[in-house]
Amino acid sequence: MKKWTIITFLLLAVVVSGCNLPSYGTVSPDQQDDAMATEISRILTGTPVEIEPSATVEVEAEEPTEVPEGTQPEEEITEEVQETEEVIEPTETALPEPTDTPAPTSTPEPTPTATLADTDPVLTLGQPDWVDPMDNGDNWPTGYNEFTTIKFENGYLKLTSKTELDGWRLSWPFLEDFYLEIKLQSSECSGSDHFGLMFRVPASSNANKGYLFGVTCDGRYSLRRWDGQTMFSLVNWTDSDTINTGEEADNTLGVMAKDGDLALYINGEKVKEITDNVYLDGSFGVFVGGTNTEDLTVWVDQIRYWKNP
């Protein structure tokens, strides 16, 4: 409505004041009408018309609240808190039943044993790799042959000589480097009757080679090497106070073998060291030689060894 008011006002101004029209000299009424139409058209198209907006309530936009870096909006924080505040039902943990303190029990007194010599390897070797307490003959060939008879009785291996020659029986383990120990005695023997430990027998199926470390009933020891035909004396029969003599005297013989180095022990004391490289591994066993006593018998209480000492 306001637009048409303005247009009407302009037309009246043009009509009233002829000085506002362009001067084209003498014109006809038709030309005046065309000039007036042109001027009105210029005014309408060349002048922008501002249309006032209708009255509306402007709502000031609320500035967003800045959230400090590293925090979450309130809603997210609330959700996070809700998650962390989730209630977890506790589970019951079974507690051990209280037990009464056991009453002290009496410990039996240990059986007295002989004091070991300071040089006894057993003091430092720990637990042995193999022990035969001679409770049965599982580790030995039992029965008799032309040289010896073997049987097991009352926790002893009993090896009896059938000739004046040395005879032996072997167990099954095959060793290289070791400490080998045998505990033995003879109830009846005299003079040069002898018995002891045979070791490093290279072929147990044909046991005609190896070393023999033994003691006599009158208190001597020796180390010999047998090659199947000849007995070589590596250590001659030598007197030693370390040997227990008399009826049923116990003696413990030990051999420390490392490559060709051989150390001999009697009742824990080192009596000799030698080097011999002829036999470096093999089986072991016990031998007996009844030089003076018919059917000389040696009683073996235990054999044990430690590998690679």
User: For each of the chain's 309 residues, which pLDDT tens digit applies?
Assistant: 444 444 444 444 443 444 444 444 444 445 444 544 444 344 343 334 343 444 444 444 444 444 444 444 444 433 443 444 444 443 333 333 433 433 333 333 333 455 788 889 999 999 999 999 999 999 999 888 899 999 999 999 999 999 889 999 999 999 999 999 999 999 888 899 999 999 999 986 778 899 999 999 999 999 999 999 999 999 999 999 999 998 789 999 999 999 999 999 999 999 999 999 999 999 999 999 998 999 999 999 999 999 999
Please state which architecture CATH assigns to domain 122-307. Sandwich (2.60)
The DSSP-derived string for 215-251 is EETTSEEEEEEE-SS-EEEEEEEEE-TTS--STT--E
Q: For residue 203, what pLDDT is reported?
A: 86
The DSSP-derived string for 153-199 is ETTEEEEEE-SSS-EEEE-S--BSSEEEEEEEE-SS--TT-EEEEEE
The dihedrals phi and psi of 56, each to the nearest 5 degrees, come to -130, 155
> Cα dist. 161→111, 155, 165 in Å?
33, 20, 8
Q: For residue 113, what pLDDT is reported?
A: 52
Rg (CA), the chain: 61
> Cα dist. 122→175, 240, 252, 272 in Å?
18, 21, 12, 17
Phi-psi category of residue 17: left, alpha or beta, with phi > 0 → left and psi -120 to 50 → alpha? beta
Q: For residue 302, what pLDDT is reported?
A: 98
Residue 247 has, within 13 A of its CA and on its CB side, a CA count of 2
Helix, strand or coil for residue 303? strand
Q: What ranges do the domains of the chain cover?
A: 2-46, 122-307
Q: For residue 283, what pLDDT is reported?
A: 97
Q: For residue 16, what pLDDT is reported?
A: 40
Q: For residue 3, what pLDDT is reported?
A: 47
Q: For residue 271, what pLDDT is reported?
A: 98
The pTM for the full model equals 0.64
Structure tokens at 97: 């039943």
Contact 305, 181 (CB under 8 A): yes
